[in-house]
Structure 1
Amino acid sequence: MIQQTLKQELQTELRRILHYWMRFLPDEQHGGFYGKVDNQNNVEVQAPKGAVLNARILWAFSAAYNLTRDPSLLEMAHRAEKWFSAHLLDTEHGGVFWTVDHEGRPLETKKQTYAIAFAIYAYSEYFRATKQQAVLTVAIRLYNHLQRFSYDPQYGGYLEAFTRDWKPLSDQRLSEKDANEKKTTNTHLHVLEAYANLYTVWPESTLRKNIQDILRLFLDRIIDRKSGHLHLFFNEQWKVKGQLVSYGHDIEASWLLLEAAHTIDDPELVTAFKALALKMTLATEEGLARDGGLWYEYEPSTQHTVTEKHWWPQAEAIVGFVNAWQLQPSGRFLQRAYDCWKFTEKHLLDKTNGEWYWGIREDGAVMEEDKAGLWKCPYHNARACMEIMKRL
Structure 2
Amino acid sequence: MYQEIQKELTEHIIPFWRGLRDDEYGGYHGLMDFDLKVDKKAEKGAILNSRILWFFSRAFNELKDISLLEEADHAYRFMVEKMLGDGSKGICWSVTYDGKILDSTRHTYNQAFAIYALSEYYKASAEPQALFLAHKLFFLIEEMCRDNDGYLEAFDEDFNLLPNDKLSENGVMADRTMNTALHVLEAYTLLYDVTDDLDIKKCIGKKLSDLLLIFKDRIYNKKKHRQEVFFDIYYNSLIDLHSFGHDIEASWLIDLALDTLGGEYLRAKDAEEIRNMTLAMVENTYNKALVDGSFVNECEVGARDDTRIWWVQSEAMVGFVNGYLRSEKPEYLQAAKSIWQYTKSYIIDKREGSEWFWQVDENRNPGKRPIVEPWKCPYHNGRMCFEMINRLKKGAADDSRKVLRGA
Tell me what 1:206 maps to: 203
Equivalent of 2:15 in 14, 19, 39: 19
Looking at structure 2, the residues matched to 98 and 173 of structure 1 have their Cα atoms a distance apart, in angstroms, of: 10
Looking at structure 2, the residues matched to 184 and 41 of structure 1 have their Cα atoms a distance apart, in angstroms, of: 33
Tell me what 1:66 maps to: 61
Tell me what 2:395 maps to: none
Residue 357, structure 1, aligned to residue 354, structure 2: no
Looking at structure 2, the residues matched to 39 and 9 of structure 1 have their Cα atoms a distance apart, in angstroms, of: 25
Equivalent of 2:220 in 220, 223, 231: 223
Give the CA deviation at 1:369.
Answer: 0.9
* SS of equivalent to 1:139: helix
Deviations 1:151-184 (A, max 9, x none): 212xx21100101110121345326557311110
TM value normalised by structure 1: 0.94
- Give the ranges of 4+ consecutive aligned residues of structure 1 lying more than 6 Å apart after TM superposition: none
* SS of equivalent to 1:332: helix
Tell me what 2:343 maps to: 344
Query: Could you list the runs of 5+ residues in structure 2 that have no partner in the other structure?
Result: 393-407
Looking at structure 2, the residues matched to 66 and 92 of structure 1 have their Cα atoms a distance apart, in angstroms, of: 25
Q: Is the 8 A contact 2:48 2:374 kept in 1?
A: yes
Give the CA deviation at 1:90.
Answer: 4.9
Give the direction of change, closer, same or farther, for the CA distance of 1:93–1:141 in structure 2 (3 Å limit): closer
Deviations 1:173-223 (A, max 9, x none): 326557311110000000000001000111511110100010000100111
Residue 162, structure 1, aligned to residue 152, structure 2: no
Tell me what 2:38 maps to: 43
Residue 76, structure 1, aligned to residue 68, structure 2: no
Q: Which amino acid aligns with 2:21?
A: P
TM value normalised by structure 2: 0.91
Q: Is the 8 A contact 2:153 2:164 kept in 1?
A: no
CA RMSD, 1 decimal: 1.6
Query: Could you list the runs of 5+ residues in structure 1 that have no partner in the other structure?
Result: 1-5
Looking at structure 1, the residues matched to 87 and 383 of structure 2 have their Cα atoms a distance apart, in angstroms, of: 32
Residue 374, structure 1, aligned to residue 367, structure 2: no
Residue 283, structure 1, aligned to residue 278, structure 2: no
Q: Is the 8 A contact 1:258 1:270 kept in 2?
A: no
**Percentage identity across aligned positions?**
38
Q: Which amino acid aligns with 2:216?
A: L
Looking at structure 1, the residues matched to 336 and 233 of structure 2 have their Cα atoms a distance apart, in angstroms, of: 37
Looking at structure 1, the residues matched to 86 and 128 of structure 2 have their Cα atoms a distance apart, in angstroms, of: 18
Which has the higher relative contact order, 1 or 2, with Cα contacts under 8 A spaced 6 or more apart? 1
Give the direction of change, closer, same or farther, for the CA distance of 1:146–1:92 in structure 2 (3 Å limit): closer
Looking at structure 1, the residues matched to 262 and 319 of structure 2 have their Cα atoms a distance apart, in angstroms, of: 20
Residue 310, structure 1, aligned to residue 309, structure 2: yes
Looking at structure 2, the residues matched to 382 and 274 of structure 1 have their Cα atoms a distance apart, in angstroms, of: 26
Tell me what 1:129 maps to: 124
Deviations 1:282-334 (A, max 9, x none): 1112443543111111012xx21111111000000000000110011143100
Q: What is the aligned length?
A: 382
